Amino acid sequence: MPRLFFRLPAFSLVALCLAASACIFVSAQTPAPAYQTNPKYLSAMSDARQLTKGRQLIFAEEAYKKANKLAAGQDPRCLKELYEVQVNLGQYKEAASTATQLESIATSPAEKATAQLDRGMALFRQAGEKGKTELLQAADVSFKAAIASDPKSGTAHFFDGRILARLGQLDAASEQFKQCLSCISPKDPAYLRAQHFAENPALSTAKFAPAFEVVALDGQRFALDAMGGRVVLIDFWATWCGPCNEELPHLKKIAKEFAGQPLVIISVSWDDDESKWKNFINKNEMTWTQYRDADHKLSKSFGVEAIPHYFTIDSDGVLTAEMLGSGSDVEGKLKKLIAKAKAKATPASDKLASN
């Protein structure tokens, strides 16, 4: 039974006076909504946020719904926070409905685009791995609406590309990925992925790990999507985690056994104490790529809540396996993936010569 370690230019006086009087005029014409001073609404919002902070999401959702009712559905902050809770609960149908409410009270193209994007994301998740056609089509409509509201939304272009690929519209998908590239910086961790998908849209239908780029302990930048042609093993761990320490000899064996092979290992630590982490790495001769996830941002993007936790990614960047706890057959999975990567890299002429 695997053992887990849980955690978790200055203005003139006249100009200033004019500005002040303008503010007074606007304020007189647009008083604050009544719900903002309603004690019941304020109490419900406070409860909802405290429950969310305490990860009591089911109760938080009910508190947000109560606050939303008291605000007559007119508070965008309440709706946005309710949406996030519903997504975290996996209640994607409800989250899509909440995003529709947000769109209905949007007062600017940017707010409208955000709500449309949120609805598209909820529908995309609701479609699931099997990709129900009607949900994918509804998500496509939402993403295209977001693009109409904000043509420079790289996120909307990217996910509409994924939707279109799953619907079998590969040329249209490729065009959306290209549009995404025109909207985001080459320094964006998602840039390389969008580039790969623009070249091969069908690849976007596979399951991928979150795109990320970090600066490792040795000062080198590690970008997941720049590892093309190599297998990647991501190891989430900590110096204070007993099962992780039990796994260390196994991980060192893998690093030594596959040295020179198309494999990259990156260990992501949960350690708070930087010096202790560095000393541990030096003492135990952990020579592969090391990164300390001090704010747990990377871990959260992977959904990691317990360690040791492993992810294997093939030479195409596809997430092939997720293993939790000590005693996982990491080595066996890596052997198959490395063999596949080597075979793929072998020129056709060499294959014929060997037959």
Residue 162 φ/ψ, nearest 5 degrees: -65, -40
Residues 327 and 302 in one domain: yes
Residue 27 lies in a domain: no
Residues 118 and 234 in one domain: no
Residue 56 φ/ψ, nearest 5 degrees: -90, 70
State how far the Cα of 84 lies from the Cα of 161, in Å rounded to an integer: 23
State how far the Cα of 291 lies from the Cα of 307, in Å rounded to an integer: 15
Residues 220 and 187 in one domain: no
pLDDT (tens digit per residue) in 155-188: 999 999 999 999 999 999 999 999 999 999 998 8
How deeply is 102 buried, as exposed, middle or buried, from its count of CB atoms within 10 A (0-12, 13-18, 19+)? buried
How many CB atoms are closer than 10 A to CB 337? 23
Structure pTM? 0.73
How many CB atoms are closer than 10 A to CB 42? 14
Tokens of 327: 């005693």
Residue 343's alpha-carbon distances to 206, 231, 349, 355, in angstroms, are 20, 13, 12, 14
State how far the Cα of 18 lies from the Cα of 100, in Å rounded to an integer: 39
Task: Please give the mean pLDDT across all residues of the chain.
Answer: 88
Q: How many domains does the chain have?
A: 2
Tell me if 140 sits within 8 A of 160, measured CB to CB.
Answer: yes
- Which pLDDT score is estimated for 127? 93
Per-residue pLDDT for 45 more than 50? yes
Residues in the chain, how many?
355
CATH code: domain of residue 156: 1.25.40.10
Tell me if 280 sits within 8 A of 203, measured CB to CB.
Answer: no
Per-residue pLDDT for 317 more than 90? no
Q: Which spans in 105-237 are helix H?
A: 109-127, 133-149, 154-166, 170-183, 191-199
Query: Which of 174, 205, 236 is the last residue in one of the domains?
Result: 205
74: domain range?
38-205
Residue 291 lies in a domain: yes
Tell me if 278 sits within 8 A of 294, measured CB to CB.
Answer: no
Average pLDDT, stretch 324-347?
A: 82
pLDDT (tens digit per residue) in 127-139: 987 788 999 999 9
- Which pLDDT score is estimated for 347? 53
